[in-house]
Amino acid sequence: MIRVSPRSSGRVRPSGSGLEVAVWYVMRLTGVGLFVLALAHFSILHFVFDPAEQTAEFIATQRWNQLIWRALDWLLLMMVLFHGFLGMRIVVVDYVRGGTARLLTLSFLYMLAVLLFVLGTVVIVTLPMPGSAR
């Protein structure tokens, strides 16, 4: 028979005031931010605007023509990246034993995170506004 504790078995807040505590707080903040932004994104695109009438042209001429939509989409993308890569960092720190293997894995993870951050930002910033000269 499996016994389940009535108390939460989630990851407890690390003690001290170093990097692990900062990662713990950022994971919680990005989780809440992702919940709010994803719910808003879904609500706006599926309840405010009719999905049957949305085309690529709608996104290019209506949504991406306004700075606020680009900013919100960028913020959602960054929340996903931070939350996902910090979660992977926690998995690597918990399960990869050995200093060299952990260092190489974390280095690869950080380089991939920076690359995706830069690529995502470049794509959102450099997409031409409709009606502008290309």
pLDDT tens digit string along 112-121?
A: 999 999 999 9
- What is the distance between the alpha carbons of residues 125 and 93, in angstroms, rounded to a whole number? 34
Residues in the chain: 134
Return the CATH number of the domain spanning residue range 19-49+69-126.
1.20.1300.10
Closest Cα to residue 95, out of 81, 105, 85, 86? 105
Burial of 79 (0-12, 13-18, 19+ CB in 10 A): buried
Provide the percentage of residues in the chain whose pLDDT is more than 90. Answer: 40
pLDDT at residue 80 greater than cutoff 90: yes
**Residues 37-56: what's their mean pLDDT?**
82
- What is the distance between the alpha carbons of residues 73 and 79, in angstroms, rounded to a whole number? 10
- What is the distance between the alpha carbons of residues 83 and 27, in angstroms, rounded to a whole number? 6
Which residues make Cβ contacts (< 8 Å) with residue 130, sequence separation at least 6? 60, 61, 64, 65
Average pLDDT, the chain: 84
pLDDT at 120: 93
Q: Write down the domain spans for the chain.
A: 19-49+69-126
- What is the distance between the alpha carbons of residues 12 and 92, in angstroms, rounded to a whole number? 17
